[in-house]
Amino acid sequence: MATGNINVSVENIFPLIKKFLYSDHEIFLRELISNATDATLKLKHLTAIGEAKVEYGNPVIEVKIDKEKKQLIISDQGVGMTKEEVEKYINQVAFSGAEEFLEKYKDSAKDSGIIGHFGLGFYSAFMVANKVEIVTKSYKDEPAAHWVCEGTTEFTLEETEKKEHGTDIILHINEDDKEFLEKNRIEELLVKYNKFMPIPIKFGTREETLDLPEDAPEDAKPETRTVDNIINNTNPAWTKQPTDLEDKDYKDFYRELYPMQFEEPLFHIHLNVDYPFNLTGILYFPKMSQDMNIQKDKIQLYQNQVFVTDNVEGIVPEFLTMLRGVIDSPDIPLNVSRSYLQADGAVKKISSYITRKVADKLKSLFNNNREDFEKKWNDIKIVIEYGMLSEDKFFEKAKDFALYPTVDDKYFTFEEFIEKIKDNQTDKDGNKVILYASNQDAQHSYIETAKEKGYEVLLLDSPIVSHLLQKLEMGDEKVSFVRVDSDHIDNLIKKDEEKISKLNEEEKEKLKADFEKVVPKEKYTVQLEALDSNAAPLIITQPEFMRRMKEMQQTGGGG
């Protein structure tokens, strides 16, 4: 038997990296800024523990475009690299200096926010550049180094001059990727991926208008001055402690996340856990009327403040993807397929943690201010009802606060309503009967008849509620939900009252037959009202089961 090492040669893997590692060319900028951020955070850590004898100061990362030379330059004032370190970290593909750093400073640096992982990010530069240069000087007192590579396995590395510690990455942008020399395109990318990164990122300058002094004459022109254009908020709300934030801070952050969204969120949930996985974030419940376009603004996923995606499918339970906000976790494996994600143990735990936090928040809103919760119900019911249908764990919690409004705007929990109707609303099998309407106008006369007889009628008009009713019917409580217009009220609910009709049997049958001639038999049932009330003398009903069948065909689901 022979054993050995599989020899992965750089020649083979280099073109692969360039082509396939990242389907999205634009992420090169995210990767290079992540490296610049890591280099700065490393220096912060090393100066803090006294290992680096330089001043940390107020470092910024700078992105510059040189259109003439077709260059995009990313500069940082971080740890830099010696010549040997360039050999080690850059020339060895798939060797991560970030992981090595975390390994070395295991205990002290675990919360340093270092981003790098796989030792591949740097090479994404070759997706957009035919030539990449590194000019770098270590914080250690050693000569600066200059590395040049033209996208092959050959490179040059020599000493050079550079005064301050830190690194410049110079990309010679491909003809095909000219877009990355456009100010607007780069700004767009910076805002998308780096808006909340922890080290300030400078992209050009901008004019700032100074406030006029209070005693300034009316025609005074406000003064302006030129300031660095810093594109990021290094300290976003989700990285802070909930106790340090007020309601206004959460609302401001919502606006920061979705600048085009003018509707205020209903409430927020601050996520913050570090065991058995690491996760922070803020979720918002948006006002969700039934027909609102919920597709546009989505939950954003970050890793150590770097934007990764706004596709959180597989990480957040489906019913919560309708929420908005931010989730930040270094523990979500990202370069794996979505189907793998769903099976990943850590991701499963994250998903059920989020579900639990959302349920707890809803419960406390319900307990602490029921009136307010009732007001919000219409906007949040879709999420809750959908969650109750799709996640059993959520159902168990939500049944305590899920509300069932009546046509008269009273709100009951399921338990409260059952308690209310007690035993005086049963069908012939002894099931408790819950009457509901789905459309207050269309079913008006049926609702009136039921109310006249002293029954409460629920108003359940969300598109998925009929599936939820089925689930409730299958629960421990023996109940059946019937729509007010599905049969004559006296057939729906057993009552021992005498019925008095003003018509004799023969007349009744004739009247009924006349109506049946014009009403399609397969769909509707014609029945005679007892003529002892103010309601209509004759009603046409559609049986509950037929209606539900039809609805299910329309919504395409079966509970």
Contact 289, 379 (CB under 8 A): yes
409 is in an annotated binding site: no
Tokens for 433, please give them. 């009967």
Binding region for ligand ADP (CB under 6 A) out of 62-70, 120-128, 175-183, 320-328: 120-128
Within 10 angstroms of residue 283's Cβ, the number of other Cβ atoms is: 23
**Residue 78 interacts with ligand ADP (CB under 6 A)?**
yes
**Residue 305 interacts with ligand ADP (CB under 6 A)?**
no
Binding region for ligand ADP (CB under 6 A) out of 111-119, 221-229, 288-296, 443-451: 111-119
Quickly list H helices, 392-486: 392-398, 414-421, 444-452, 465-473
Residue 376 interface partner, choices ligand ADP, Mg ion, none, CB cut-off 5-8 Å depending on type: none
Distances 268 to 319, 362, 383, 485 between C-alpha atoms, Å? 16, 10, 14, 40
**Residue 61 interacts with ligand ADP (CB under 6 A)?**
no
Distances 52 to 79, 86, 140, 405, 555 between C-alpha atoms, Å? 9, 19, 7, 65, 64
Site for ligand ADP in 3-32 (CB under 6 A): 31
Give the phi and the psi of residue 44 in degrees, each rounded to 5. -60, -45
Distances 272 to 214, 253, 254, 281 between C-alpha atoms, Å? 44, 17, 18, 7
Of 117, 298, 324, 483, the residue at the interface with ligand ADP (CB under 6 A) is: 117
User: CA dihedral defined by 343, 349, 352, 356, rounded to 10 degrees?
Assistant: 180
Binding region for Mg ion (CB under 5 A) out of 33-41, 75-83, 293-301, 331-339: 33-41
Residue 465 interface partner, choices Mg ion, ligand ADP, none, CB cut-off 5-8 Å depending on type: none
Of 22, 28, 89, 417, the residue at the interface with ligand ADP (CB under 6 A) is: 89
> Least Å distance between CB 27 and ligand ADP?
11
Sheet of 479-483, strands arranged across:
458-459, 432-437, 479-483
Contact 228, 239 (CB under 8 A): no
Distances 41 to 36, 83, 136, 504, 550 between C-alpha atoms, Å? 9, 21, 16, 92, 60
> Least Å distance between CB 124 and ligand ADP?
8
Tokens for 484, please give them. 């007010």
> Least Å distance between CB 85 and Mg ion?
14
Of 121, 151, 317, 325, the residue at the interface with Mg ion (CB under 5 A) is: 121
37 is in an annotated binding site: no
152 is in an annotated binding site: no
Site for ligand ADP in 29-48 (CB under 6 A): 31, 35-36, 39
338 is in an annotated binding site: yes
**Residue 35 interacts with Mg ion (CB under 5 A)?**
yes
31 is in an annotated binding site: yes
Of 41, 52, 90, 332, the residue at the interface with ligand ADP (CB under 6 A) is: 90
Size of the site for ligand ADP (CB under 6 A): 22
| Tokens 């021992």 belong to residue | 496
97 is in an annotated binding site: yes
Residue with smaller CB distance to ligand ADP, 94 or 536:
94
> Least Å distance between CB 332 and ligand ADP?
16
**Residue 118 interacts with ligand ADP (CB under 6 A)?**
yes
Within 10 angstroms of residue 435's Cβ, the number of other Cβ atoms is: 26
Binding region for ligand ADP (CB under 6 A) out of 74-82, 218-226, 456-464, 493-501: 74-82
Residue with smaller CB distance to ligand ADP, 85 or 461:
85
Residue with smaller CB distance to ligand ADP, 116 or 236:
116
**Residue 116 interacts with ligand ADP (CB under 6 A)?**
yes
Residue with smaller CB distance to ligand ADP, 96 or 303:
96
Residue nearest to Mg ion (CB): 121
> Least Å distance between CB 24 and Mg ion?
16
Contact 60, 201 (CB under 8 A): yes
What's 314's DSSP letter? T
SS (H, E, C) 164-222: CCEEEEEEEECHHHHHHHCHHHHHHHHHHHHCCCCCCEEEEEEEEECCCCCCCCCCCCC
Site for ligand ADP in 391-430 (CB under 6 A): none
**Residue 121 interacts with ligand ADP (CB under 6 A)?**
yes
Instruction: Name residue 459's beta-bridge partners.
Output: 437
**Residue 198 interacts with ligand ADP (CB under 6 A)?**
no
CA distance 51 to 358: 44
Residue with smaller CB distance to ligand ADP, 39 or 173:
39
Cβ-proximal residues to 426 (8 Å cutoff; 6+ apart), any chain: 432, 433, 493, 494
| Tokens 């168990």 belong to residue | 396
Of 116, 198, 286, 317, the residue at the interface with Mg ion (CB under 5 A) is: 116
Binding region for Mg ion (CB under 5 A) out of 113-121, 135-143, 199-207, 315-323: 113-121
**Residue 59 interacts with Mg ion (CB under 5 A)?**
no
Contact 98, 117 (CB under 8 A): yes
Contact 277, 349 (CB under 8 A): yes
Of 167, 278, 280, 541, the residue at the interface with ligand ADP (CB under 6 A) is: 167
CA distance 125 to 123: 5
96 is in an annotated binding site: yes
Residue with smaller CB distance to ligand ADP, 43 or 539:
43
> For residue 386, which of 464, 472, 461 has the smallest C-alpha distance?
464
Residue with smaller CB distance to ligand ADP, 87 or 310:
87
> Least Å distance between CB 33 and Mg ion?
9
**Residue 299 interacts with ligand ADP (CB under 6 A)?**
no
**Residue 151 interacts with ligand ADP (CB under 6 A)?**
no
| Tokens 């499918």 belong to residue | 313
Tokens for 474, please give them. 């299958």
Residue numbers at the binding site for Mg ion (CB under 5 A)? 35, 116, 121
- Binding-site residues for ATP: 31, 35, 76, 81, 96-97, 167, 338
Residue numbers at the binding site for ligand ADP (CB under 6 A)? 31, 35-36, 39, 76, 78-81, 89-90, 96-98, 116-122, 167
